[in-house]
Amino acid sequence: MQIEGHAAIVAGGASGLGEATSRALVERGATVTIADLNEEKGAALAEALGPNASFVRCDVTDESQVAAAVERARASGELRIGICCAGIGWAERTVSKRGPHQLMPFETVIRVNLIGTFNALRFAAAAINENEPLESGERGVCVNTASIAAFDGQIGQIAYSASKGGIVGMTIAAARDLSGRGIRVVTIAPGTFDTPLLAALPQESRDELGRQVPFPQRLGRPDEFAALAVHIVENQMLNGETIRLDGALRMPPR
């Protein structure tokens, strides 16, 4: 599907993987709505990207805010691209010296990562469904963000792994649900990427994480995630799949 001339919404689009994706879409001629909790970063990014980008504050766990953000995107043009990069992490073992894993952070991670992605997916897909199909029969595409933790969850990642595994599980079901409407659904499962989350680590720790990747032996760059997201939009045969983007990395237990 051609990107130029269409509207897109990127949930979690103000920083990291989402920022890179927002930039890539604008560079290719899309009108992009950046939906994010961080108003300062989101507004600054939209201003930097120019008239084809706008920002709307959005908590992906709040269905009314997601619905409003999607409507805002629809008002900017023919919405055919929905991408969700919103997510958080939490480190805690199933059982530790303090006792069993706390329930509240587990629920919070599930709510933001899994339910938030579901909200972004369902509202974007409903809006895309209102489009007339293109000549190819396609109405649009939704791209989700999981993680290789969905497959190789490390010690302390039970909440994060469960949330990302849920996104992987939704992918083929959603793609089949929406196939009759000409809407594709694809998920990217990135490995260790150079994002704001890892920026807090000392450089030595970041370098060590990069050396664990078979090839290339470095952290992934957000623009490489964005390049794959763009390719998914443009390649109609990509549907119902979760694509690992990890340099052949298989995470060790710790």
Selecting among 118, 123, 160, 225, the annotated active-site residue is 160
Residue 236 a catalytic site member? no
**Other CB atoms within 10 Å distance of the CB of residue 178:** 23
CA distances from 172 to 206, 238, 240 (A): 34, 11, 4
* Three state DSSP letters for 115-167: HHHHHHHHHHHHHHCCCCCCCCCCCEEEEEECCCHHHHCCCCEHHHHHHHHHH
Question: Any idea which residues carry the catalytic annotation?
Answer: 160
